[in-house]
């Protein structure tokens, strides 16, 4: 654990290194909306605001699927949203409230994520589901880029 509070450690810009969905038994599932290795940028500021953008690397064949539990929905291989974040320093849980989103149904949605910053690496975990409803744990690994 770092001596820096999560609310401060998150501040900056983060580039996505990996995004993996795993079942309870450890099997990997690929999100059809963004693919196995999307590119993404995530930004947190000192005012409690955040913005996220995700894009499928190869958008020649995209599949639009319904939003998963505790998550947003990509459209044509792209997803973007922004809002406010509120970290719980004791638990590492971060609540994000979406003020704007590519999918209008997600405006106002509150999402929960476990976050840990170690040096220049941010790890985000969340419980979500596949398009068929199978529960998965999503782990996103980010590197500080600014």
pLDDT at 111 over 80: yes
Residue 2: predicted pLDDT:
57
**For residues 20-45, average pLDDT:** 96
> Tens of pLDDT along 67-104?
677 778 888 999 999 999 999 999 999 999 999 999 89
DSSP state of 93: E
As to burial, measured by CB atoms within 10 angstroms (0-12 exposed, 13-18 middle, 19+ buried), residue 15 is middle
Question: What pTM does this model have?
Answer: 0.92
Average pLDDT score over the chain: 93
Best CATH choice for the domain 6-144 from the list 2.60.120.1140, 2.40.128.280, 3.20.20.140, 3.60.20.30: 2.40.128.280
Domain boundaries, the chain: 6-144
**Three-state secondary-structure class, residue 5:** coil
């Amino acid at each position: 654990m770092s001596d820096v509070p999560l609310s401060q450690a998150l501040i900056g810009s983060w580039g996505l290194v990996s995004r993996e969905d795993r079942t309870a038994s450890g099997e990997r599932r690929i999100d059809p909306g963004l693919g196995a290795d999307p590119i993404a940028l995530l930004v947190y500021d000192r005012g409690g605001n955040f913005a996220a953008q995700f894009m499928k690397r190869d958008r020649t064949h995209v599949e639009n699927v319904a939003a998963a539990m505790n998550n947003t929905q990509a459209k044509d291989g792209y997803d973007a949203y922004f809002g406010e974040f509120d970290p719980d320093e004791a638990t590492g849980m971060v609540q994000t409230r979406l003020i704007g989103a590519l999918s209008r149904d997600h405006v106002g949605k509150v999402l929960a994520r476990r976050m840990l910053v170690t040096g220049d690496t941010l790890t985000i975990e969340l419980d979500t589901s596949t398009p068929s409803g199978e529960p998965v744990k999503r782990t996103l690994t980010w590197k500080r880029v600014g």
